[in-house]
């Protein structure tokens, strides 16, 4: 199969599930994204981010992955929801803690506004926990509506830098020492 679209997906977790810690949830979600029709072509570093807007909630583990696929954006979104369900995501309230959160950030340069899907994700430009990891992968990606690069959008949220820190490799290795099934 030939892949033609580059897609970015945010991956986050701030609650453990029976399979493991938030770091393991993020790793497992990335593993579940790989298939015959989806190719994972990049993954950012992992970041620990203060939960927003509820700062008293557990901190999030965040990353962004780059994918390539030819499936329609709506079908990809459905696949992300299936993975969330598989990893124990229960939707309670907006911004509530969660075992996994998969957000379709961008699908090539497509702009979609439907009841079910908005692309690019409407809150990209205000989220340090999306922009910093995305910057690891492609700081030059240009938002098709705002006409700004990831770098420029990241610069505009500089005041949020105190909310995010890169996780050391050892923390991820220690979290991953238990086999993911």
Q: Are 104 and 117 spatial neighbours (Cβ–Cβ below 8 Å)?
A: yes
Within a domain: residue 111? yes
From the list 89, 115, 147, 155, the catalytic residue is 89
Helix runs in 34-156, H state only: 73-86, 128-137, 150-156
- The H or E element containing residue 63 is strand 60-69
Within a domain: residue 158? yes
Q: How many domains does the chain have?
A: 1
pLDDT-derived band at 181 (thresholds 50, 70, 90) equals very low
Within a domain: residue 26? yes
Q: Which residues have C-beta within 8 Å of that of residue 147, sequence separation ≥ 6?
A: none
- Which tokens sit at 78? 């459905």
- How confident is the model at residue 3, as a pLDDT? 57
pLDDT-derived band at 9 (thresholds 50, 70, 90) equals very high
Q: How far apart are CA 93 and CA 179, in angstroms?
A: 31
Tokens 């770098």 locate to: 151
- Which tokens sit at 60? 């999030």
Task: Check if 127 is active-site.
Answer: no
* Domain around 70: 5-175
pTM for the model stands at 0.90
Q: What is the CATH number of the domain that holds 93?
A: 3.30.70.560
Within a domain: residue 91? yes
Within a domain: residue 32? yes
From the list 36, 75, 98, 136, the catalytic residue is 98
Mean of pLDDT values over 47-57: 90
Q: Summarize pLDDT for 122-157 with one digit per residue, the tens.
A: 999 999 999 999 999 999 999 999 999 999 999 999
From the list 36, 101, 115, 136, the catalytic residue is 101
Task: Check if 36 is active-site.
Answer: no
Question: What 8-state DSSP symbol labels residue 88?
Answer: T
Residue 172's SS3 state is helix
From the list 103, 127, 136, 147, the catalytic residue is 103
- Which tokens sit at 147? 């006409």
pLDDT-derived band at 169 (thresholds 50, 70, 90) equals low
Peptide bond into 53 cis (omega under 30): yes
Mean of pLDDT values over 70-84: 95
pLDDT over threshold 80, residue 13? yes
């Amino acid at each position: 199969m030939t892949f033609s679209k580059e897609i970015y997906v945010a991956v986050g977790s701030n609650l453990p599930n029976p399979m493991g810690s938030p770091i393991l949830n993020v790793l497992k979600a990335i593993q579940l994204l790989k298939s015959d029709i989806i190719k994972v072509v990049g993954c950012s570093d992992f970041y620990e981010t203060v939960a927003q807007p509820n700062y008293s909630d557990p901190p999030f583990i965040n990353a962004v992955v780059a994918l390539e696929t030819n499936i329609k954006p709506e079908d990809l979104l459905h696949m992300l929801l299936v993975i969330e369900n598989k990893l124990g995501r229960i939707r309670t309230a907006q911004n509530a803690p969660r075992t996994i959160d998969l957000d379709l950030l961008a699908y090539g340069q497509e702009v979609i506004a439907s009841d079910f899907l908005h692309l690019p994700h409407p809150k990209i430009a205000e989220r340090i926990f999306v922009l910093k990891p995305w910057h690891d992968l492609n700081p030059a990606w240009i938002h098709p509506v705002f006409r700004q690069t990831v770098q420029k959008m990241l610069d505009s949220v500089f005041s949020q830098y105190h909310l995010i820190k890169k996780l050391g490799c050892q923390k991820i290795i220690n979290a991953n020492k238990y086999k993911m099934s």
